[in-house]
Amino acid sequence: MQTSQLLALIQARRTCYQFRSQETHVLTDLEIKKCLEAAIWAPNHKLTQPWRFWVLGKNKQQTLAVVYADNRASKKADCGSSAYQSLYTKAVEKFMAIPQIILVGQILTQDEFTAKEDYAACACAIQNFQLMAWQQSIGVQWSTGPILTDVRSYEVLDIESEKITLIAALYMGKVDTENRMNQLSQNPKRKSIDEVTVYLD
């Protein structure tokens, strides 16, 4: 791969909020596996390999939709009110329309410094994941929304919050070409290299 191609991939990747229909544009197990393969080759100090992934099937997604919808609706309306019910229903629909969800957790450690390094390693893994996804016309939104801290999510995944902390919900799906072009044209601005770099002698 040429350096220009690598840079083009890195620059083209965008956080995606809309995906092609999951009925017509299925993500294959192989595509997902390639993303995970890229993820686990991320740098990680002392080879702690602190990342864990949960690839949700539709049953688990439905169970988690309850947690997602309750968090969204209860932020804006009183539980049990008609406003709550309406927000809740819309949120379930929105969540279930996401073609594929993968949750990422970080193995916890007592040592504060290692924990910081492990979070950094997980972030590297997620970026590797996102780049491999983009290369396969799969868009990803890295979400750090309330489902990550809700105790019910830990119950759904059957994990202990003392041992693992959820750090990302990766919402993913195929990105259509037009949409992809729109996203490219809305390329979020980055500061120039000169604004963020000091060259020393």
Ligand X SMILES: Cc1cc2nc3c(=O)[nH]c(=O)nc-3n(C[C@H](O)[C@H](O)[C@H](O)COP(=O)(O)O)c2cc1C
Q: Which is nearer to ligand X, 32 or 175 (CB)?
A: 175
Sheet containing strand 100-107, edge to edge, reads 51-55, 100-107, 164-174, 138-143
Helices (H), 43-200: 58-76, 82-96, 112-135, 151-157, 177-185, 193-196
Q: Which is nearer to ligand X, 15 or 85 (CB)?
A: 15
**Residues 6+ positions from 97 with CB-CB distance below 8 Å:** 19, 22
Q: How many residues bind ligand X (CB under 6 A)?
A: 8
Q: How many C-alpha atoms does 179 have within 13 Å on its Cβ side? A: 15
The binding track of 38-77 with respect to ligand X, each residue x by CB under 6 A or -, is: ----------------------------------------
Q: Which is nearer to ligand X, 14 or 174 (CB)?
A: 14
Instruction: Output the CA torsion 32→13→44→101 (10° steps).
Output: -40
Q: Which of 4, 111, 188, 197 binds ligand X (CB under 6 A)?
A: 188
Q: Which of 77, 137, 145, 152 binds ligand X (CB under 6 A)?
A: 145
Q: Which is nearer to ligand X, 55 or 145 (CB)?
A: 145
Q: Which of 144, 149, 155, 181 binds ligand X (CB under 6 A)?
A: 144
CB of 169 to ligand X, least distance (A): 8
Site for ligand X in 83-142 (CB under 6 A): 141-142
Determine phi and psi for 200, rounding to 5 degrees: -110, 155
* Secondary element (H or E) of residue 103: strand 100-107
CB of 18 to ligand X, least distance (A): 12
Site for ligand X in 1-40 (CB under 6 A): 14-15
Binding residues for ligand X, per CB under 6 A? 14-15, 141-145, 188
